Chain A
Amino acid sequence: MDAGFSEQTRPAAGDPITEEEALRRLRLTDDPSAQYYAAWWLGRNRSTHPEAVPLLQEALRQRRPRDPGAGVEENAVARNAARALGKLAPAAVQAIDDLLATLEDEDHGLREAAARALGELRAEAAVEPLLRRLAGGPSVAGAQQPGTPRLMEPCEALLEALGDIGVSTAEVVAVIEPFVQHERPLIRSAASRSLLQLTGEEHWGLQLVELLQHQQLQVRHAALMDLGGAGWRPALDPIARTLAENSLKLIALRGLVENNCRAPEPASGLAPDASTTAVLEVMDALL
């Protein structure tokens, strides 16, 4: 699963603004709430302005050590900057070093955002630090932090980043595999998705299809997003039958069309092949 649907909600203060205005606001280092919206805007609108990536890198460096007594607005800006950089691939590859540094931050939320962005940027340099953070397995990295609902590491994001980056060595697979047994179904879903992306093995896809039947809606949502993220076409009918909102099924099916790793479709050009057409027809019926 990824943060996709929580991010579809625009932050408040969402007047329509221009790219120039977003860049201006991102420079306002004494006004974190203006920067927060500006960083989000640049990612959402996939800015290609040459100043966007350097300014987002600056915003990422504004992060601070977590001080429970003080505001952490700079970290909120940094989090949005990391998310935006993930969306600006491939232009944002120059920010990979900054994101790798952010992956070492004490702030759990920042590590999560950095991991997702590194995944979107397919940053192979991130594989080693991601593996290091997950190395303890479900009982260490995946243990619950005392006094919070969080796990010690943002495991979902770390696992999914490894799947997105796509380095499929025995070592990577061995680190991810124990998380398929994690007590939380959302972590199981993320791990299965990653393994499906890395190995293409059917049984990981079937694990996700099984989660589409989970009694909790939130888990069904995660499995939908993960099947879409992996682009696993055999899930077409199970996705269509899942008890969930059509909006989420449509996002998952878009993923089946666009993330099909074995047969990438050209963005434009000829009409879709038979397998893609079958997915589109199911989408049509869900509108």
Chain B
Amino acid sequence: MPAVLELVEAVRRADTALGLLQATQALAAASHPEGAACLVEILGFNNPGAAVAAVDGLIAIGEPAVDTILSNIDGYNYGARAWAVRALAGIGDVRGLPVLEDALGKDIGPSVRRAAARGLGQLRLAELPEDERRATGHRCLQALLAGCRDGEWVVRYAVVVGLESLAQALDAEMAAGQRQQLIEALGALHADPEEEAPVVQLRAALALQRLGVPHG
């Protein structure tokens, strides 16, 4: 039996939380595409430690894991969905864009929306042809701008992080108008008198500072 299948078998046999964690870490460390389906399954086991390891493993596998993740998004378990979105965010493959847009705009789980917001800032745009890069960056920006109004502080926090990394990814590419929109959105989050979470304002201040924008 090839080594990766033995590792999958060890995950199946694990009958304690710790055993599952260790088997998952071993499978993740192999970062073999044939382990992806099993790693995706682990996201639904409600074992945060194992899920973290599985996400790391999926990110290490990278692009070959994307189809498996996309075709196994769990519509009923938002814990599992959040981990899947985190894996997509970490891989940064643009095939994940529709899932990330949809998740930030519509998902009922704040943990899913926050993972999506972060992911929208870290798609690997540099690999795309120029016109596609522009169009994709535009879609990421629009989704994040809409996310600024999310009702949960942690999602707004993630939107700030997403906007900061999107600005860095596009930078020179970004049309002046778009960059202006992005900076204004960060400024509004920073200065919003209605903001209940000072941590969101502080994170926005940090983002503006890193982008070289005077504020305050």
Contact = CB atoms under 8 A, between A and B. Distances in A.
Given A254-B197, A284-B161, A287-B114, A247 B202 contact: no
A268 B79 CA distance: 33
A258 B110 CA distance: 21
A282 interface: no
A9 to B, nearest CB: 12
Interface stretch (A59-67, A140-148, A269-277): A269-277
Contacts of B79: 245
Contacts of A269: 205, 216
A257 B198 CA distance: 9
A270 B216 contact: yes
Interface stretch (B25-33, B67-75, B152-160): B152-160
Contacts of A93: none
Q: How large is the interface on B (under 10, 10 to 19, 20 to 34, 35 or more residues)?
A: 20 to 34
A258 B199 contact: yes
What is the interface residue range for chain A against chain B? 20 to 34
Given A46-B196, A268-B216, A287-B114, A247 B206 contact: no
Contacts of A283: 157, 199, 203
Given A271-B206, A287-B117, A287-B161, A243 B48 contact: yes
A207 interface: no
A245 B79 CA distance: 9
A271 B205 CA distance: 5
A191 interface: no
A276 B209 CA distance: 14
A18 to B, nearest CB: 15
A246 interface: yes
B118 A287 contact: yes
Contacts of B197: 254, 258
A233 to B, nearest CB: 14
A265 interface: yes
Nearest to B193: A268
Interface in B16-43: none
Contacts of B202: 257, 265, 271-272, 276, 280
A271 B209 contact: yes
Contacts of A257: 198-199, 202
A244 interface: yes
A280 B48 contact: no
A224 to B, nearest CB: 12
Interface of B: 48-49, 79, 86, 110-111, 114-115, 117-118, 153-154, 157-158, 161, 190-191, 196-199, 201-203, 205-206, 208-209, 216
16 contacts: A46-B196, A243-B49, A245-B48, A247-B110, A247-B154, A250-B154, A254-B153, A257-B198, A258-B198, A270-B205, A271-B205, A272-B205, A280-B199, A283-B203, A287-B86, A287-B158
Interface of A: 46, 243-247, 250-251, 254, 257-258, 265, 267-272, 276-277, 280, 283-284, 287
